[in-house]
Amino acid sequence: MKKQQVWLLEPFGDGDSVCLKSYLNKYMAVDTFGNVTCENDAKDEAAKFEISVCEDFSGRWAFRSVARGYFLGGTQDSLSCKAKTPGDMELWHVHLAAKPQVNLRSMGRKRFARLSEDKDDIQVDQVVPWGEDTLFTLEWRDEADKYIVKTNNNMYLARDGHLVSLVMRECLFAAEYHGGYIALRDLKGMYLSPVGSRAQLKTRSSVVTRDELFSLEDSIPQVSFQSASSGKFVSVKTGMDVTANQDEVLDNEKFQLEREDGLDGWFIRTSRDKYLVMAPGGGVQVGDGRARELVHLCWFSEGGVSLRTTEGKYIGTKKSGQLVVNNEAMEEVKNRFNLKLTNRSSIVLKSQQGYVGSSMSGKPGKVECNKAIAEVMEVEEGEEGAVHLRGQGGKFWYVHDGGIVADGDNPTQGFHLELVDNARIRLKTTDGLYVNSERNGVVKVTSGDADAATWWQF
């Protein structure tokens, strides 16, 4: 998949009308003869299409030119808009190029979906999506031209609301566009929605209302911080003070890293909807959103991170475990933390050339970055903040001949995930070398230069 093949659907007016925008920021348009161009700099009626969904439950979309009243069709060589009714040439399987790992927010309930405590179904009851149980993967199945909904425990949602371990016909859903939102329709024409007092996600209705509409929202990074000096996890369990004194990671030891456009740094949010702030006496405490403060993540070449305030001071740990702001160098072990993504037990990586996945030709298991279909990698905890990556074939990643191969039987190669922003990371080996993408889709491990490293979407 190339960036030239990705189109942005922009809503245009009310209903299901959209414009199709190319990577060059030009709009697809139809002239009076039905010819299709992609040269418009702005939206106008010639660039307006109305989406309808084929009623054969195949999930195919039709695009009708609003100005001309004809349907967009295509051959191997060209596009035109000359058909009065949509046939096979005018019906399109639309593959969402948005990040496949998302939080699902119901428009009707105004709540986010989560894996239930019993791990056997999905409930739509979260005001704020917290933890890996609120992360879902919309996984495309080429053989069926449909999506499946996968939970973080590797189960699949069936149309009756139950989770199953193997993909079957009842797990296949077509994605439909309705006024800027997505509806998921099963093979019998019924739509997913939250049902009953438990808000269980299952198919019920054959028509689309607000209950059947969902927004696909980016999953914001949530992390734990482990003190490199004591091995204890940073926690807000004890009240106002923030202390590294816990042996395991529960909700009080998880923090959401929030980044805003134009600001160089992160706000650190707790599970109690508070933020980390610098106390007058040099300590670190929790405060409300009005008192939140920016913190910079400074990454070490050998792994780990330090937390620097906007005044250039570092956050470290006392012998008691209490966090404190000091003037000492970031290299001090008491100023170093191991960071782990707590809402990513699996991950999808994407470069400018496409998704990351194993090659289907050449050396078996060779990892490339130009795939049209996302491959979900399992993330397993390693030592000192490192992780091991396991491909869809169940094999582990490791470095081989300057590249990455996913055919290891054991987790011998560690990687560090360095957050760049809410949606991108740098990927680095435990030897301090960055994993970079090449234009031809090759993945290379060549340099320890962070400034030249690839930013991977995740």
- State the pLDDT at residue 262: 82
In this predicted structure, the answer to whether residue 110 has a pLDDT above a threshold of 90 is yes
- State the pLDDT at residue 149: 97
CATH fold of 222-341? Trefoil (Acidic Fibroblast Growth Factor, subunit A) (2.80.10)
Per-residue pLDDT, averaged over 96-123, amounts to: 94
- State the pLDDT at residue 1: 62
DSSP secondary-structure letter at 133? Answer: G
Instruction: Determine which of 68-82, 289-303, 378-392 has the lowest per-residue pLDDT on average.
Output: 289-303
Residue 419: exposure state from Cβ atoms within 10 A (0-12, 13-18, ≥19): buried
Band of the pLDDT at 4, cuts 50, 70, 90?
Answer: confident
- CATH architecture assignment, domain 346-457: Trefoil (2.80)
CATH fold of 3-90? Trefoil (Acidic Fibroblast Growth Factor, subunit A) (2.80.10)
Beta bridge partner(s), residue 46: none
Band of the pLDDT at 13, cuts 50, 70, 90?
Answer: confident
CA-CA distance, 183 to 200, in Å (whole number)? 16
- State the pLDDT at residue 170: 97
CA-CA distance, 90 to 65, in Å (whole number)? 12
CA-CA distance, 326 to 58, in Å (whole number)? 61
Per-residue pLDDT, averaged over 86-113, amounts to: 92
In this predicted structure, the answer to whether residue 150 has a pLDDT above a threshold of 90 is yes
Tokens, residue 179: 């006024």
pLDDT tens column, 225-282:
999 999 999 999 987 899 999 999 999 999 999 998 888 899 999 998 899 999 888 8
In Å, what is the CA distance from 20 to each residue of 38, 62, 349? 9, 13, 25
- State the pLDDT at residue 59: 85
Per-residue pLDDT, averaged over 321-348, amounts to: 90
**Domain 101-218 has what CATH class?**
mainly beta
The answer for residues whose C-beta is within 8 angstroms of residue 257's C-beta and 6 or more apart is 220, 221, 222, 223, 266, 267, 268, 269, 419, 422
Domain residue limits, the chain: 3-90, 101-218, 222-341, 346-457
Band of the pLDDT at 347, cuts 50, 70, 90?
Answer: very high
- State the pLDDT at residue 325: 93
Per-residue pLDDT, averaged over 212-223, amounts to: 95
Instruction: Determine which of 100-114, 258-272, 360-374, 389-403 has the lowest per-residue pLDDT on average.
Output: 360-374
In this predicted structure, the answer to whether residue 14 has a pLDDT above a threshold of 80 is no
Task: Please determine whether the domains at 101-218 and 222-341 fall in the same fold group of CATH.
Answer: yes
- State the pLDDT at residue 362: 60
pLDDT tens column, 177-200:
888 899 999 999 999 999 999 999
Per-residue pLDDT, averaged over 29-57, amounts to: 92
